[in-house]
Amino acid sequence: MKPDNHILIIFGASGDLTKRKLLPSLFELFDRDMLPERFVVLGVARTKFTGEGFRKEQRENLKRFLKSGEPADKTLDSFLERVHYVALDTDDAREYRLLAEKIAEIRRTEDIPDKLLFYLAVPPQNYERIADALRETGLNRAQEERGWRRIIVEKPFGSSLETAQRLNRHLCSIFGEDEIYRIDHFLGKETVQNILVLRFANQIFESLWNRNYIESIEIRAEETLGIENRGKYYEGAGALRDMVQNHLMQLMGFVAMEAPSAFDAELMRDEVAKVFRSLHPLSPADVIRGQYVAGEVDGKPLPAYREEQGVNADSTTETYVAMRFYIDNWRWGGVPFYFYTGKRLAKSKSEIIIHFKNVPHRLFTGMCTQDSCNELVLKVDAPESISLKFGLKVPGSFFEVKRVSMDFAYDSLCNTYIANAYERLLLDAMQGDSTLYTRTDALELSWRFIDPIVRAWAEKPAEGLVFYPAGSEGPMPQGDQGDVLCAK
């Protein structure tokens, strides 16, 4: 079913996120006839574009960033007819009358009901100012009986528990909790959504999904890229805030949650919040933080983090985090969970690995005598896939066992279009489905979990910071660090 006819207002329309992700995703939805009949994108930014100038700019961006290749001119023209633009200073509440007038004009000429979806594709420090201006202009509340308002907020949502709570209170004083969509693009990935189906639709997995059969669980989000000219942002975030607090925590919530009584957004989010409430408190000894120094890949020199643009020469910001933690409930009691995330590593890797326990008595020789034969690997990044690993006899040998893999790749579904994360999440917000969006309580609980580490590192910035060469596997286990860094 298509969403209601509405207007999508993108703040930060001249920025990188809009041209690389949002408009290409909206075009793909349009091309597959998944947008409503009367739908308009209204870009808002300070750049002095005319409507025609903005459309011309986005035409070139779409040709450049569409993953499906260059679109037909006729289709591109039809889509861009729906794209409008208004230039205003988003810091000046008085200028929002221009936005209100433009919205009223579009609604009148396009016959669109009083249904508005706002997307804040802007730096976090602008969230409160924009929300305040929308309230002062009256745009935060629908004036028609069946109208609605929704607002999508990008990460980072706060920089600590205190700032996240303050931002939540502020936004909830302007919009209802059910109108606020805190986006995490990781949750829009096909493999992440399939965690729920894999578990709750298959007895062969769900019956083993507990402390009796699982040795440990690791969740990885590792990159070969550096900070990519985002030095100023990264200095204020670091890997713990940038990746752990949102992406990895949300993935863990899906892996560890109990089955809800029905497939309902609030019931699903209830179960994730229950997991976060059961987290055993962290201590600095449970977390390793690292920072990359100069290195080399394929003969090409790579700079140290402290040499990157916008980074302090004596920065102690972490570019790598490894941590071990536990969930204090009956399903997961005693099972260690591990997070790994970092920049400038040897391989890009986003995956969830379920390490099952070994058999109680080892009859055979080979690889499976040291490690468990059984692992379930969910690859989150492209190419997305699921692999089940188990032991089999080596042909011709005398019962020597090697681990083999049974693999499923999503791109093998050649007749099925696989939407990207932003396509899925944008469409969900248009339809009012908040299943894959973070709720206030879960957000604050995740901040509460990592806040002791944030404070400890702030009090002693250099203590415990280890260094690893760019292009390497990351910090090597040393002494007591080994238990935190090694999942097996």
Asked about 361 being catalytic, the answer comes back as: no
Low-confidence ranges of the chain (pLDDT < 70): 365-371, 397, 413-415, 477-482, 484-488
pLDDT, tens digit (0-9, with 9 covering 90-100), for 258-303: 999 998 889 999 999 999 999 999 998 999 999 999 998 888 899 9
Backbone angles phi, psi at 313, to 5 degrees: -65, -25
pLDDT at 369: 57
Give Rg (Cα) of the chain: 24
CB-based burial, 108-124: b 16+ in 10 Å, e otherwise:
eeeebbbbbbbbbbbeb
Token pair listed for 170: 């502020």
DSSP readout, 125-184? GGHHHHHHHHHHHTTTS--STT-EEEEEEPSP--SSHHHHHHHHHHHHTTS-GGGEEE--
Classify 408 as helix, strand or coil. strand
User: Which domains does the chain possess?
Assistant: 6-154 (3.40.50.720), 187-418+438-485 (3.30.360.10)
If DSSP codes are grouped into helix, strand and coil, which group holds residue 390?
strand
Contact 90, 11 (CB under 8 A): yes
Q: How far apart are CA 409 and CA 412, in angstroms?
A: 6
Amino acid at 297: V
List all residues 6 or more positions away from 332 whose beta carbon is below 8 Å from its beta carbon. Answer: 210, 211, 256, 278, 326
pLDDT of residue 479: 60
Q: Using an 8 Å Cβ cutoff, are 13 and 43 in contact?
A: yes
What pLDDT is stored for residue 66 in this prediction?
86
Tell which residue, 422, 467, 449, has the closest CA to residue 28: 422
Q: What is the pLDDT of residues 409-434, one digit of tens each?
A: 877 766 677 778 899 999 999 999 99
- Angle, nearest 10°, between helix axes 73-80 and 51-65? 140
Identity at 249, one-letter amino acid code: M
| Predicted local distance difference test score (pLDDT) of residue 80 | 93
- 191: nearest Cα among 215, 216, 211, 220: 220
Omega before residue 156 within 30° of 0, cis: yes
CA angle (484 as vertex; 210, 239 as ends), nearest 5: 100
Say which of 185, 247, 280, 355 is annotated catalytic: 247
d(CA 261, CA 271): 10
